[in-house]
Structure 1
Amino acid sequence: MTSRVPVPARTVSAPTVPADRLFWSIVEASGIRAGRIPSGLWPLIEEDVPVDPEQLWGIAVPIDDHRIAACAIRSADLIDHAGDAVALTPAELPGFIPAPAAAFNFLVGEHEPRAARRARLRRHCVAAACTLLSVVLIAIGLSRRTAAWNAEALAARKATDGVIASIAPHPGWSRDDLALELMHRRQAAPAEFVPPADAAEALAGVLANWPTQVANRPQAISASGASASISVTVPGDAQAFLAALKPPEGWRLNEPRLAAIDKVTRLNLELRKVGGDEGEGTR
């Protein structure tokens, strides 16, 4: 029997650069992002860095809205300390630098590790693929919706053409021809002519207030713009049906006429619009 002795996990610490290998400076600048020192800032740093800028690699980190902290290292020292690391930071910071050491990672830009660069490119490719897929799906959805709308528009146009063909006095007439003919007929009509009222309002009012909760069998409904006649049969007593039938707003129910046949009551009802004149009926 063997026993296993737990072995503590080994902690791999990221390499750091000794303080005596670094050059520091604080300059007045705004709108600078953390990263490689822009070439335009090197003239401001040269007073604090007694080395040719061509031999240095530097990182800039904003410390407030108007100042940045710059840290530079010789390119040769950077290569010596970087190795296969994914991050390289100062071992310690001067007291006048109000920023964490982790903010000054020298392995960025052209010194970015290959593994980090590959991971970043992979993330970008995945994001681009997801974006492209989303665009394709949206385009397909819009294309299908457009096709459906076009089909509905075509069906509506065909239905309109069918109605026009059924009422046009001559074959091949269009909607504009009918509108022009209607305008001519209206102009030719006598001034005292009053067109019949629309029966649709009366018919819609009767149907909307029809007492479906009471047993009944409609026989006939005729309506004009100002009146409506109803013939209906109900089993037994008709009082429940009459109580449930409510005239539309602005209409009145005249005295009903009843006729009892066996166990069925036949009702003849008349609705009239208050203050209206009766026109031609529509059945």
Structure 2
Amino acid sequence: MMDSEPARPPAEVERYLSELVRRVAAVYRDRLVSVGAVGSLALGDYQHGRSDIDVMVVVDPAVPGRSAHELAEVLAHPGFRCPAAGLELVVYDSAFAAGGAPDAGYLLNLNTGPLLPAVADFEPAGAPGFWYVIDRAIGHQSGWTLAGRPIREVLGAPRRSDLLAAVSASVHEHASGAGHLADNRVLNGCRAVCYCRTGRWVSKRQAGRSIAAAENNFRALVEQALRSFERPRRGALALPADEVDAFLSFVRRSVDRASA
């Protein structure tokens, strides 16, 4: 259970986060409510060379719309060099963040960094909401506050039914295989099953170890995914496609049972 501050990341990531907070504060000034790390940083499982840096920014609803555009410019790699695989940063207004809604709802969705396709999106209408719902749920449970009010307090908890729907949608996306490494598809599936069984979010590697111990039919595949996950993204191992598909079918059944 990750209810205390997570393990510190490498020094260069800490320096990057400090400068990121400075730049966010320079843009939003007194309209800034909170900055928090989510994802692997919050769950104590950041792996340098593999993990993204996941950050949420919460601001006053009255913030000028141009501020999100300004922030996207000052955080873009390589002008502001990201030391990780990438930065995934999302900005919300505080009213939306507190509501626990099942929508994307962002003011800015920014992906930047050496291994991420660059994205700076300011229009959430039509965007699939499931990844954002899951990330906000992780932030509500385990977020690591970098500046301002505690991030866990400003992020409202999604309803369990909305969260299970988001988990189901994420598993279906991973089943398509598009844009995802095989090890990440398997370990995200492990995390989905662990959430359905326990109601808690854990890291991908912790989830993988738990499922490998509990599900003998999939132990070899999950252990292979764990070994692959220790490698840089470009060195990820190929996993047997038919075994990955069978595992994700098992994950979908597990989510469906939890949703019934």
TM-score, structure 2 as length reference: 0.23
Bigger Rg, which one: 1
Higher strand share: 1
TM-score, structure 1 as length reference: 0.22
Higher helix share: 2
